[in-house]
Amino acid sequence: MSTVLIIGVGDVGQQLALGLAAGGRVRRLVLAGRSPAVVGETAAMVASASDCLVEPVRLDALRQDDVAELLDRTRPDVVVQCAALQGPWALAGRIGPRTQGVLAAGLGLRLPYQLPVILNVMKAVRDAGWTGPVANLSFPDVTGPVLQRLGLAPTLGLGNAGMVLLRARAALRAARPESDLSLIRVLAQHAQVLDVMQSRKPADPGDRCRIFLGEEGLRDDACAYRAPALAPGPRYNPVTVAAALPVLEALLPGGAPLRWSTPAPNGLPGGYPVRIADGSVALDLPPGLDLAEAVAFNERVGQGDGVERIDKDGTVHFTEACRAAVEAFAPDLAEPLAVDDLARRAARLDEVLAREG
């Protein structure tokens, strides 16, 4: 039986813990977070609802030595990184012009909230000499490629492309209940997920997710947009969890092989079809799709998140549309973002958003 370490016990972290415990293949869950009260209550809830051993740990994941020590002490089989300085729904419901400008710029502008914890976790993984799989939930389509430039890429990301897979499967199941839905392969970016979840099919076919059915990879891109519409918000979290749990169970020792779609396998930009077996992850591209084409597609549609390109040293450059969205009140927010400038840029974002009006 396996040990899983979950870093970050917000809503998704809690749901993942409950799902893993209920699945019966995890003997021990280590739940780590900054708030002793939240971690303790989550551990009590999971332990009460399952036969899993649950260990609550107070952890500031920005303290690299503390993360490395926790890895060394617990020796998990899989690490699940769910923490961020600010969640992606933190600005939901705020209507001020600065907030709206930051939202319009794309999630890439808020990379200073999403990157620091997973960056620190991966540094701790390196320092601890830990070689197991790391699954990252924090904006993996972009944080993965940044970390790949630094030699610190997690094994893969969670959500996003897997969510698109589930939406396509739901639409196909409703239309053709007798269909074989055993293999759906998805090429998609985080920037496309909102349209998929709201059933808004882009007018330009080139901007749609690519959906490949069966071994032969028959294209049915439109099926990603045919499931019932779901308005944005934390209600997406159960879909994120449903997309993540099969991946995590496949990564466990002795896990059954899985063909799925995930963000950022080995630090690639965007999401791809993968095969997971024996704790390793390999691409599972359909016939006729080569890696260069797949990467180019994800880099192009990923500009919808405001990211134009990522340099070899991990510096992120933002798109013209992103820069235009904040030009009137904080143009410096869209200047190129270096990895060693994350703390200062996060503080600047805090300042700008606090001065709403």
Sheet holding 258-263, edge to edge: 258-263, 271-277, 280-283
First to last CA, the chain: 54
pTM value is 0.96
* pLDDT on residue 342: 98
Nearest to 355 by CA among 32, 13, 101: 101
Instruction: Give the per-residue pLDDT at 164.
Output: 98
Q: What tokens appear for 296 in the block?
A: 């180019």
Question: What pLDDT does 177 receive?
Answer: 87
Positive or negative CA dihedral for 93, 98, 100, 105?
negative
pLDDT, position 357 = 54
Q: For the chain, what is the HEC assignment? A: CEEEEEECCCHHHHHHHHHHHHHCCEEEEEEEECCHHHHHHHHHHHHHHCCCEEEEEECCCCCHHHHHHHHHHHCCCEEEECCCCCCCCCCCCCCCHHHHHHHHHCHHHHHHHHHHHHHHHHHHHHHHCCCCCEEECCCHHHHHHHHHHCCCCCCEECCCHHHHHHHHHHHHHHHCCCCCCCCEEEEECHHHHHHHHCCCCCCCHHHCCEEEECCCCEECHHHHHCCCCCCCCHHHHHHHHHHHHHHHHHHCCCCCCEEEEEECHHHCCCEEEEEEECCEEEECCCCCCCHHHHHHHHHHHHHHHCEEEECCCCCEEECHHHHHHHCCCCHHHHCCECHHHHHHHHHHHHHHHHCCC
Segments of the chain with pLDDT less than 70: 357
Give the pLDDT score at 355. 83
